[in-house]
Copies of this chain bind each other. A is one copy, B any other.
Amino acid sequence: MNDTATTMTSRRDRVFNFSPGPAMLPTAVLERIRDELLDWNGTGCGVMEVSHRGKEFTALIDRARADLAALLGIPENYRILFLQGGATQQFAQIPLNLLPAGNCADYLVTGAWSQKALNEARRVAGNEVVIRCAGSTASENFTRIPRRDEIDAAPEAAYFHLCTNETIHGVEVFDEDDLFPSGTPLIADMSSHLLSRPIEVSRYGLIYAGAQKNIGPAGLCIVIVRDDLIGRARPGIPALFDYAVQAENDSMLNTPPTFAIYAASLVFQWLLEQGGLPAIEEINREKARRLYAAIDDSGGFYHNPVAPEVRSRMNVPFTLADTALEPSFIGTARESGLLALKGHKSVGGIRASIYNAMPLEGIDALIDFMRDFQKRFG
């Protein structure tokens, strides 16, 4: 399943897809899915057709867990859960599991997604708890991360929630060591950058990520949760929402999204073949470096507003000095095989999402297009 020169060519023959998610998947993974779609693993059936409790699928999910643990270096005292409902379900599930009556939780607001997490916590958590905003950069349009001295963390908080990569605003947290309170479980929405680089899992109480960026198809959410945070759910919450119930049942309280787990398992194998997260980080770093340099070196024709030290390596939003040109930029790019560059409707502009599956060639093609566009309209 190596991404050989041949498969890179076949990818180039298709298009470069800058969608924020569901997003580009490695061509080698798609080819493998295609090749075994009607006969998986010698079963004579497609992987979509086999029982989740059969020995073949059980082996698959066990290997997926082991490969993910190897990629991220997940310590023994963490459980990996394969759930449904995306990050949005976690926005509700986290307070319902981890925030007992009489307690409070801290939320750092660094963009649209951490704001949604806070809103949903306030919606579901009830009147006997307090959901605190421990810091926000809303007044600066989310163009930076609050400094340590701007974060008002409650020492007694049950947890501290943050989004370590904001898909819409293009802000990524790199230095969580210095920023966040120690002693309080750190809960991180890593939906749009999990698996893009090594992380120190042991810094976190719980990590979660919707699959549809760097992991696999939509409909799967990965939760990595420390043992001591399992078993604290409020009584009477839906069984599916209880981390203890899901952990006891190996994520199979009911039928899990088997095809999405299978596709994710192939992505894990592909990443291991690429050299794991240190290797993919090198490529991602270079992709981001080239693209931000092209923006910064455009003499103001293109502009990214985010503080350089927290610019996301995954989601690169930018605007044109003449915003009236943006629809033409997006449309002409599409005609050139550079898809899905439209910024999120809440912020407008352009956004290039450049997840693991986006090859360096895609970045170079985008930069070439940007220079050409500037020549014609600048």
Contacts and interface: CB of A to CB of B under 8 A. Distances in A.
Nearest to A57: B22
Contacts of A51: 19-22, 340
Contacts of A295: none
Given A15-B45, A44-B339, A258-B219, A92 B27 contact: no
A188 interface: no
Interface stretch (A64-72, A195-203, A237-245): A237-245
Interface of A is mostly: loop
Interface in A210-254: 210, 212, 216-220, 236-241, 253-254
A124 interface: yes
A34 B39 CA distance: 11
Contacts of A31: 38
A26 to B, nearest CB: 10
Contacts of A33: 37
B123 A239 contact: yes
A86 interface: yes
Contact of A219 (B49, B50, B123, B260): B260
A17 interface: yes
Given A238-B124, A255-B21, A85 B88 contact: no
A278 interface: no
A146 interface: no
A261 to B, nearest CB: 9
* Most chain B CB atoms below 10 A, which of A45, A85, A91, A239: A45
Contacts of A37: 30, 33-34, 37
Copy tally for this chain in the complex stands at 2
Contacts of A24: 45, 49
A210 B257 CA distance: 11
Interface in A47-86: 48-52, 54, 84-86
B49 A257 contact: no
B86 A85 contact: no
A260 B260 CA distance: 9
Interface string A183-214: 00000000000000000000000000010100
A342 to B, nearest CB: 9
Contact of A22 (B20, B34, B44, B255): B255
A45 B217 CA distance: 13
A305 interface: no
A43 B334 CA distance: 10
B45 A123 contact: no
B34 A258 contact: no
A240 B27 CA distance: 32
Interface string A117-152: 000100110100000000000000000000000000
A14 interface: yes
Given A37-B37, A258-B22, A236 B50 contact: no
15 contacts: A19-B50, A19-B54, A22-B258, A30-B37, A30-B38, A48-B216, A48-B263, A51-B340, A52-B218, A84-B85, A84-B257, A88-B254, A219-B219, A219-B258, A259-B260
